Structure formats: structure tokens, C-alpha cells
Structure 1
Amino acid sequence: MATPTSTSSRWSELPDDILKSVFERLRFVDFHRAKIVCPNWYLCSKQTLPRKKTSPLLITFPKGGECALYNPEEAQVYKTKRDLSKTRFLANSGNWFLILDSKSNLYIIDLFSENTINLPPIESIKGDQYNLERVGDKVFKEVGIRNTPSVIHKAKNLRGLLWVDEKKEEYVVVWYFHMSQKHMIEYIAVCKNGEDHYREILTRLGLPVIYDMVLLPFGDSLYVSTTNGYVYKLDLSGKEGLEETISFLRPPYPSSDDKTVLSNNIAVTISGEVLLVQRIFYQSKGQNIFRLYKKDPYHKRMPLVKVDSLGDEAMLLDLGITVRADRTFGIEPNSIYFTRHDRACNRGWGTLHLDICVFNLATKKIKCFPWPSLSKLKLKDARWFLPS
């Protein structure tokens, strides 16, 4: 090979065939970091497939430290370059995470490239019945337009969901303030790319306390489960509003002398079927058991039927969706990946321990962590996600 000149030796001007060869050999996280070196590298990365797909990753939150990424397949921890220790992660879509900073500003960040999208202020919401006023950095006052009483909202009670399409450069952000059993949820806020404010949905409907929420891929539908046992499907693609109500009765409570903690979440499969996910935690044994149910349209008195298998799909309970599973890519089929059950409502288990587990529905066996690399981090929280 000829000796490169001073001009051609610059990293940004490496020949495409050499760049592609380099990209094809990089590990997944390194691939995403390398593509942001310069515009030419980014363009070349779009024409190159990563070395292989990856297993679900963990974003981890050590006590008193910055967040980090953990790849179980490599047993490798990747530290983020930016200091995110004073931020709160609300949701994610692929590599993109919805973040609330210490001054209650919302933005979206790609954890690999650290590219950032600033979002409209929370108080920019425009609705028929309510406006929000900022009171300091962590408090908002809900002001009723029609002489309704004012309500104070704290930033720590903000919950959110996110969907991002990198290729089309589109996103959907959803948030609401979690409230106590004494209040009804009057609205949920939504914002899409190109909009400079949030719009309210569910106005005048009044929902019971929200138990769980799932934003579907493509960001056009939102599923909301509530404490009254119903699941509401909301259309976000055009005219926002209630599209469908799916009635769910509570599944049978486990009969046991052991003290148990029970949660009922929802998840949506690749085919669009809504599942009720019952998680039973036996406190004395420190044991988790999962049961899945779906709605049976043919039986009104017994509307739930048990689901014994996810087939070749795996459930990421933190996201509320299922994905195609393949052991060669590190994704265990017919399994549930979970950390905590309380993403939407933040109800705790009454214990301080963190579960990072994979539950196999066929064997009923659970593989719990931390791995040796994680045990050193002294985690306060973690979240499974599937990089895009």
C-alpha cells in the first residue's frame, strides 16, 4: 500500500472499503460510537451492518454515580461520557431515552452517540380544560380554565413513554403526572416531532389511577391499564381519543400461606394481542412467578384465558412489548426479561432490592443477576432495552 499523504491520512477521508471493513469488526456499542466520528463515518455506517445483532442490554443506575450500559453477552460495562447522574430516565425506544433533568426539562438522548433532541417545556401543554404553570424547578401548578380547583404536581411524579424512528427522524413523547387514589387522571400529554407544545388527550374522560402504559411501535397507539381492571386503547395517529375499551377482570389470586406481592401489568405482542402479565413475588422465598392471560371473546363470565407460551417471542416487560427471539443473538425465546414492575405508577415492592432477571415460561425457572461485573456497581435501578 502506498504511503498516504497528509491529506488522505486524515481519519475522515479513509476509503469507504477500509471503513466498512473496520465497522464490520466492531462490537455493537463501539459500532454506534464510531459512526459519530464525522459525517463520512456516519454515512458509511448506514451502508454497513453491525457485526451481529445483540442481546437485550441493561442501562444501569449505580448509587451516587453515573449511569452505565451493560452487555450481558460480553459481560462488559460501558460508561456514558456525559454526566447523567442528576437526571431521571422515564422511558426509551431503542438507543433513545426520554430524560428529565434536575430543572424539570425534558429531552431525548441517544446513549451511544449522545445526540440530543430538546423537547418543549412541560408547561407548554395546550388543552381545553387545563394549563400548567411552572413553580420553581420541580413543581407545576395545574390551573383550570373553567373555574376548576388548582392542583399541584411534583416533577418526581412525572411518568413518560417514548417512540423513535431514526430513519424517518420521527418521535412521539407521552407523559402524565401520576396521582393518588383520590384523584382521577384528567389528561395525558403527547408531542410529536415538529410540534412546539404538548396536546392533551383523555380530556373530559377522567380515568381511574393508571397502573401501566404501553406505547406501540410506530407511536400511533397507546394502551393504558387502570386500577378498575380495564385497558383503554388510544389512537394517537390522528384525532386523539378513546378508540377501544378492553375489559379485563382480575386473574385468580394465588393460594398460598406465604406472604405474596402481586402486580398486574400489560404487554402487547408482535401481532397486536394484549396480554395481562401477573407477577407473583413470594417474599419469604425471594421468588418470582409469572402468569400470562389474554381476553377470551367467547366467554363473558370467564373473560380471561391463560397463555402458556410466547412461542418464538421474548417479552421485555420494562417496555411492555414482545420481540422476535433467537438464541444465536442472545435473546431467549419464550422468556420474560424484567427488572421492576412499577414503571408507570412507581409503586414499590416494599423492599429495596433490585431484580434483574429472565424468567423462562416453559421451565418456570428464573435466571437472576447481578453478574460479577454488575455486583461491583451497587445498583439502585436498571432497565432492559433492545438497541435499535
Structure 2
Amino acid sequence: MADVRWLDLPMDILRCVLGRLSFVYFHRAKMVCSNWYLCSKQTSPRLSGSPLLIMFLESGDCRLYHPEEARVYKTKRDLPNIKFLANSGNWFLVMDSKSNLYIIDVLSQKKIDLPPLESIKGCQYNLKRVGDKTFKEVGTHRCVIQKARNLRGLLWVDNKKEEFVVVWYFHKNIVRKYMTEYLAFCKNGEDHYHEIPARFALRDVSDMVLLPRGDSIYVLTTSNHIRKLTFDSSGQDGFKNILSPFCLPGPPIELNHHDDECRYNIAVRPSGEILVVMSIFSESSRPWMFLLYKKNRYLFPGNSLYNMLVEVDSLGDEALLLDLGITVPANPDLGIQPNSIYFSRTRHACFSFQKRSCLDLCVFNIATKTLKRFPGFFNLKLKDARWFLPS
């Protein structure tokens, strides 16, 4: 037996080995060789419904934290000089120091290169690369320079069908008003991006969520509109107002202090219901507080309160992954807490003009209004972090 190599283990013994591995190590092991990968397809890994936390260190190293195991894993490959843009399951959309985009599976390290930004084909908007971090608009009447630091992204991946959709856009703060004029997207198998010309719908973007199937986007605006953008590769696209405008109650008096920072995000439930999330934070003493709102289903057009959002007291057996803008079924036995909000605050950094650190890794219990923080990670000198749900 001493002469038997690990790569040549009999299938039944290999299945036994793989079945004993933790969730993270199982995904690593299946990438060892083709034999191990085939065996992993016949082996059931340990269940892990718990969201994981990926942490990007200033050194360029990456770490994975599994809350149920209370364990930190080092990834097989580090990602120095990259900027995180979005994720879907294990897949992360990142941009390197030369403004190249790719998606990578952080569990298996599988990588898919994406078309260059300047490959965008649109009737109104095209780009020309000017160095590694700068792009110039061409084909317009304006001379506009776009900086890579203003690039934002959305991602949707279907692992079973091996399909993905990548969306990117440049997002600017102009006198504390957010401006996004163009969206571009591509799908698996395409060598260029398609323009989504929706300037009017994107003038004052506060937040965006890419819907499952990857063919529509919900947009939350600073002028209290919720819009749905639908697009496909044939050039058929358009938008409609879901709520225009909606009325959102202000923070409760006991939470309304001069040093409070209040932000708004959008989230989508499995039922398709849209939530507006109010995040309230005070630098002085109080921790984060979250309030959830939804459309009043019992009012009809013409009613003076038709567009007034009502507060959501509970998510029931769902949990909100605010970094992703979705709620998911929760199962405490698998490690995901119901009626809770998983939050890293990095998603909001894309839309914030604040220059201070935007990391705050925590889980908020909606029923008890208590916060569980993970402060021990800050000695790792984190550059970015984000909750994700492994697939």
C-alpha cells in the first residue's frame, strides 16, 4: 500500500476520503486531477448552507471564513492588485491592475477571461483604451474620460447550465449626485459587450440588483423610483417604472440623530417581492440598525397612499444577504440564520462618497435587533470582504 499514489486510489476509498472532507476542502480536492473530479461527482459533500465570508487582504492574500466551523481557510491562489466588483455564488467578478475583467471560482480557482472593456458595441457609446486605468468615450459629441476606479459590476452565474451574464457600468459622484449613463453586458460565449442605452433610467442610481436568469435589472434611484431594465443580445431592451415615485417613511425619532448615516438599498425575495432596505449607522455609540419596507399590496392606483411603502417586521424563514441584494431560504441546522441580515457594508462603498473604511462584518437579527460582529478579522489588514452563498 506504501507504493500506491494518492492519484491512483481505488474509487471506493477515494469516495470515503472525499466524503470526510469539510465543505471547502471538498471543493479544493476535486480539482486535484481528473480522476478526483470524476469521483467528486459521485460523492455527496458535507452540507453547508452557511454563507461564507471572503476576505481580501492588503497584501493581496485571500482568506475564506466558515462561520459554522469558526475556521479561516487560505485560498489556493492569491489575487494581488485586483478590485472586487460582484459575485454570484462562488463566482466573483474582478478587475486587475490593467483593467482586465475576469470571473473566478474562489473554491476551485477556475478562471474565465472576459472581453476587454473597449470591445463594447453600441449605437451611442463606445470606448477607447488610454493606458491601463483610463478610457475615452468615442462616437459621442462629448470628450469624456472614464476612470477604471469608477467601474462597477453585476454578475449572474448558473453552474448547472454553465451560463453567466456580466454587467458593468461607470458610476460617478457629481456634487453628491450619482450618475450612471451606460450599462454594458455580455454572456458566456460572446467576445464583446452590448450596450444598454438607458440614460434616463440611470441618471440617479442608488443601487442595482441583477435578477435571476440574468436578463433584467432592478434599479433604485435617489429620487425614490424603482425601475426594471430588461435586455437581451438581440438589442431588444427597455425599462419600466415599478414604483414612481414611492414614499418612504423617515427614520424613527429615536434613531434620527445628527451623526446618523442613512443609506438605502434594494433586495429581491424568491417570490419576486421587492424590498427597500434602510441602513442606519451612527459613528458615536449605537450599532447598525436596519428597517425593511415593501409595497402595500392592499392599495390600488388612485389611492393617495398607493405608493407609500410599509414596514416589514419579519423575513420569517428567510435571510437577507445584503451584499447580493437577495433573500434566501434559511435553515439554522445548515448554518444560515432565519430572519437575519448578513452584511459586510462593502456593497455600499461603491455608492458612498465617504472616504473612511467601509468594512463592518456582521449578522443582524431582525427580531431581537441585535448585532453579531466579527471584529477579530481586522488584524488581518483587510482591504475588502463580502458574504457569499456557496453553490
Tell me the TM-score normalised to structure 1 length: 0.91
The percentage of counterpart residues that share the same residue type is: 60
> In the alignment, what sits opposite 1:240?
237
> In the alignment, what sits opposite 1:154?
147
Post-superposition Cα deviations, 1:90-135, rounded to whole Å, max 9, x if no partner, equal 1111111101000000001111211110000001111111110000
Amino acid across the alignment from 1:384: W
Amino acid across the alignment from 1:320: G
1:214 to partner: Cα distance = 0.8
User: CA–CA distance in 2 between the matches of 1:141 and 1:23?
Assistant: 51
Post-superposition Cα deviations, 1:313-369, rounded to whole Å, max 9, x if no partner, equal 000000000111111111110000001164473305554362111111111111112
CA separation of 1:261 and 1:121: change in aligned 2, threshold 3 A: same
User: CA–CA distance in 2 between the matches of 1:344 and 1:240?
Assistant: 29
Which runs of at least 4 in structure 1 moved beyond 6 Å after TM superposition? none
1:42 to partner: Cα distance = 1.2
1:250 to partner: Cα distance = 3.1
> What is the total number of aligned residue pairs between the two structures?
379
Contact 1:128 1:203 in 2 (8 A): no
* Aligned partner of residue 288 in structure 2, secondary structure: strand
> In the alignment, what sits opposite 2:342?
337
Contact 2:124 2:197 in 1 (8 A): no
RMSD of aligned residue pairs (Cα, Å): 2.1
CA separation of 1:231 and 1:362: change in aligned 2, threshold 3 A: same
* Aligned partner of residue 346 in structure 1, secondary structure: coil
> In the alignment, what sits opposite 1:129?
124
1:204 to partner: Cα distance = 5.2
* Aligned partner of residue 30 in structure 1, secondary structure: helix
CA separation of 1:19 and 1:138: change in aligned 2, threshold 3 A: same
Contact 2:346 2:386 in 1 (8 A): no
* Aligned partner of residue 287 in structure 1, secondary structure: coil
1:243 to partner: Cα distance = 4.5
Contact 2:205 2:221 in 1 (8 A): yes
> In the alignment, what sits opposite 1:251?
249
Contact 2:49 2:331 in 1 (8 A): no
User: CA–CA distance in 2 between the matches of 1:163 and 1:257?
Assistant: 38
Tell me the TM-score normalised to structure 2 length: 0.91
Post-superposition Cα deviations, 1:1-36, rounded to whole Å, max 9, x if no partner, equal xx58x6xx3434433222221121110110000001
CA separation of 1:301 and 1:351: change in aligned 2, threshold 3 A: farther
User: CA–CA distance in 2 between the matches of 1:311 and 1:292?
Assistant: 13
CA separation of 1:17 and 1:318: change in aligned 2, threshold 3 A: same
Question: Which runs of no fewer than 5 residues in structure 2 stay unpaired?
Answer: none
State which drifts further: 217-226 or 178-187: 178-187
User: CA–CA distance in 1 between the matches of 2:91 and 2:192?
Assistant: 20
1:67 to partner: Cα distance = 2.1
1:46 to partner: Cα distance = 1.9
State which drifts further: 305-314 or 223-232: 223-232
* Aligned partner of residue 376 in structure 1, secondary structure: helix
* Aligned partner of residue 28 in structure 2, secondary structure: helix
Amino acid across the alignment from 2:108: S
Post-superposition Cα deviations, 1:194-248, rounded to whole Å, max 9, x if no partner, equal 1110001134545222111111222232111111111111223563321553333
| 1:133-144 pair list within 5 angstroms | 133-144=128-139
Contact 1:160 1:344 in 2 (8 A): no
Given candidates 204, 212, 221, the residue that maps to 2:207 is 212
Q: Does residue 279 in structure 1 map to residue 279 in structure 2?
A: yes
* Aligned partner of residue 272 in structure 2, secondary structure: coil
Q: Does residue 368 in structure 1 map to residue 363 in structure 2?
A: no
CA separation of 1:43 and 1:251: change in aligned 2, threshold 3 A: farther
Post-superposition Cα deviations, 1:152-175, rounded to whole Å, max 9, x if no partner, equal 110010000111112211000011
User: CA–CA distance in 1 between the matches of 2:260 and 2:179?
Assistant: 28
User: CA–CA distance in 1 between the matches of 2:357 and 2:80?
Assistant: 20
> In the alignment, what sits opposite 1:312?
317
| 1:1-388 pair list within 5 angstroms | 3=1, 9-145=4-140, 148-181=141-174, 184-203=179-198, 205=200, 207-236=202-231, 239-247=236-244, 248-255=246-253, 256-297=256-297, 298=299, 300-302=303-305, 303-340=308-345, 342-343=347-348, 345-349=350-354, 351-352=356-357, 354-371=359-376, 374-388=377-391
Contact 1:208 1:227 in 2 (8 A): no
Contact 2:207 2:351 in 1 (8 A): no
User: CA–CA distance in 2 between the matches of 1:350 and 1:132?
Assistant: 28
User: CA–CA distance in 2 between the matches of 1:185 and 1:173?
Assistant: 17
Question: Which runs of no fewer than 5 residues in structure 1 stay unpaired?
Answer: none
